[in-house]
Structure 1
Amino acid sequence: MPLTVHHLQVGQSERLPWLCEELQIPYDLVLHQRAPVFAPQSIKDLNPLGQAPVIQDGELTLSESAACAEYIIHTYGGGKLALPPGHADYADYLYWFHFANGTFQPQLVTLMQISRLDPNNAAAVRARDRFETMLKFMDDRLSKNTWFAGNEFTAADIMPTFTLTTMRSFYAYDLSAYKWILGFLKRATARDGYKKARAKADPELEMMIDGKAPTSYMEKLKAEGKL
C-alpha cells in the first residue's frame, strides 16, 4: 500500500503533498475539511490532539509536520531535499528546517491569540515587534541566498512557506516591506511540485504570495454565515 497523507485543508499539512510531489513518490491524499475552524472528527480519530498532518504507512500512524517530512524524505525519498552531514550548508539546512515550526509559526500563533484580546496592549505590541524582527531576519537571509539553506532548494523551503502564505488566512499580515521574501515565494510557488500539490490539496485557496494582507478565513466564514 502506498503512503497515505491526511491533509486538513487550509492548514499546515499542505507541506506534505508538496514534499511528495517534489520527491515524485506515490501517495494517497485524503482531504479533510475544517469544521468550520478546527479539525473535524475524522482527524481526531487519527490523532487525539486533532493535529494535522497525519501520515499512515502500513501500521504506522504519525503526526507533526517536521517528523512526517523527515520520515517521508528518508523512507521514500532516499534523502533527497535534505542536506547530509558534511554538506557545506548542513547546519543552515537544519536551522531553517526547524525554525519554521520551532520559532516562526509559534510566534505568529502567539501574536494572533494576543491580538484578538486587545491588539494595542503591551503584550501584543511586543509580540508584533518580535514577529516583525523574524520577518526582517528571514528577508535578510533571502537577500543573500536563493533558498533558505543556500543555493539548493530543500525541505527547509517547504516548511516556512505555509506560515508565509496560507497562515495569513488566520492572521492577515502584510509582506509588502519584505521584497526578498516575496521573491522567494514567487520562486517556490512556481515550482511544478508546488503547483501539482496545490491542485490536489487546496485548488480553491487564495495563493497569498503578494505583499498585501489577504482576506481573513474567519471573515469569509462570517460572510458565509458559518460563524
Structure 2
Amino acid sequence: MKTFSAIALAMTMAFAAQACTSAPPAAEAQVAQTQPTPKIVIYHAEGRRSERVVWLCEELGLPYELKFRRGDVAGSFEDIFAVNPGMRVAPTVFYNDELLVESGAILEVILDRNGNGRLVPPVNSADYGLHLKFMHFAEGTLASDVIADYRVARATDGKAPRGEKETDGQRAMRFAEDHLAKYPWFGGSEFTAADIMMVFPISYAIRMNVADPAKYPRIAAWQQKVEARPAFKRMLAIARPDGRVAPPPSLTLP
C-alpha cells in the first residue's frame, strides 16, 4: 500500500506540474479569447475625454456609433443624462448592453476584449509597467493637478502661475517631461494607449496656460508626433469638426 501510494502521489505531482507549465499566462489567454466585434455606442461632448474612445476605435479599426449634438455641448450632455441619469459624463459608452464610464476603464475594456495585443506592451516586457503607470497617471495625478491649478488661479487673480516655485500641475508636467528624456513614448518604446490618455491633460495644461510650453520641449515634440497620427486626425475631423466649442477662458499671462 505504501509503494502504491508513493507512486500515485508522484504521478499526481507530475501531472499537476505539467498542467501548470502548459497553462498560458492570463494576458495571452485574454488575447486568444478576443471577443467578436462589439456594438460600441459613444455618447460624446466636443472637447471632452470622450475623444479618447473615438481615437482608440480609429486606431484599432473598430466600428462605432458616435452620438453628440454638433456645436451644442449642453445639448450633448442632455442626451447623456437621458441614457445615464446617474452619472452625466462624457464619455458614456455602451459596449453591447454594458454601460461604461471613465475613459481609462473604457479603453482597457476595449483593448482587453478587442485589441488583439495592440497598443498594450506584453505583460512581461519592461514597457508594460511604464504603459500602465501613465494610463493611470494621466487622470490620477496630471489631470487632477493641472485642473486644480487652473481653478485656484481663476478663483484668485486669474493669472497664469509663472513663479519660481512649481505648482503641483507643473511638477506633474515635469515628471512627464523627464520620462520623455528616456523613452520616445509614455508606454516606453512604442506608441500605446497610455499616449492616448496623456494627450488630454497635457493639452489642457498648455492651452489654459497652467504650464509654460517652453519649459517642456520633449512634451512639445511628443505632441507633434501623436497629433500627426492618421487616427488622431480622423478623430478630430469626426469628434471635433468645428474645433473647440465654448472652451473655458485661459489664464492670463503675466
Under a length normalisation based on structure 2, what TM-score does the superposition of the two structures give? 0.73
Equivalent residue for 2:66, pick from 3, 23, 29:
29
- Structure 1 CA distance, aligned partners of 2:76 and 2:207? 16
Q: 2:114 aligns with which of 76, 79, 90?
A: 76
Aligned-partner SS, 1:56: strand
Determine the structure 1 residue equivalent to 2:189: 151
Change (3 A) 1:68 1:186: same
- Residue type at the aligned position of 1:77: G
Mind listing any 5+ residue stretches in structure 2 that lack a counterpart?
A: 1-37
1:116 positional shift: 1.6
Between 182-191 and 138-147, report the one with greater CA deviation: 138-147
Amino acid at match of 1:13: S
Counterpart Cα distance in 2 of 1:80 and 1:164:
23
> Once structures 1 and 2 are overlaid, which stretch shifts more, 62-71 or 161-170?
161-170
- Written as runs of structure 1 = structure 2, the 5 A alignment for 1:127-206 is 129-166=167-204, 173-205=211-243
Please state how far the C-alpha of 1:146 moved relative to its aligned partner: 0.8
Distance of 2:76 and 2:198 partners within structure 1: 21
Match of 2:142 in 1: 104
SS of residue matched to 1:4: strand
In structure 1, C-alpha distance between the alignment counterparts of 2:165 and 2:52, rounded to whole Å? 26
Superposed CA offset, 1:17-50 (max 9, x none) = 1111111111111124686679622122233222
- Cα pair 1:96 1:156 within 8 Å, conserved: yes
**Closer/same/farther in 2, CA of residues 188 and 76 from structure 1, 3 Å limit:** same
Q: Give the C-alpha shift of residue 88 in structure 1.
A: 1.7
Question: What is residue 21 of structure 2 aligned with on the other side?
Answer: none
Distance 2:122 2:77 in 1: 37
Runs of 4+ in structure 1 deviating by more than 4 angstroms, as ranges, are 32-39, 125-128, 166-173
Alignment partner of 1:3 out of 35, 40, 43: 40
Query: What are the Cα deviations for residues 179-221 of structure 1, in whole angstroms up to 9, with x where unaligned?
Result: 1000000000100110111110002226xxxxxxxxx92349x
Relative to structure 2, which stretch is displaced further, 19-28 or 71-80?
Answer: 71-80
* CA displacement 1:128-186 (0-9 Å, x = unmatched): 62211111111111122110121110001000101122565556643122110000000
What RMSD over aligned residues (CA atoms) do the two structures have, in Å?
Answer: 3.0
Q: Are the equivalent residues in 2 in contact too, given 1:54–1:68 (CA < 8 A)?
A: no
1:218 equivalent in structure 2: 248
Q: Does 1:49 align with 2:83?
A: no
Gaps of 5+ in 1: 207-215, 221-227
How many residues align? The count is: 210
Q: TM-score, normalised by structure 1?
A: 0.81
Could you say if the C-alpha distance between residues 103 and 54 of structure 1 is closer, same or farther in structure 2, counting changes exceeding 3 Å?
same
AA at the equivalent of 2:247: Y
Is the 8 Å Cα contact of residues 46 and 61 (structure 1) preserved in structure 2?
Answer: no
Identity of aligned residues (%): 30
Q: Distance in 2 between matches of 1:133 and 1:184?
A: 18
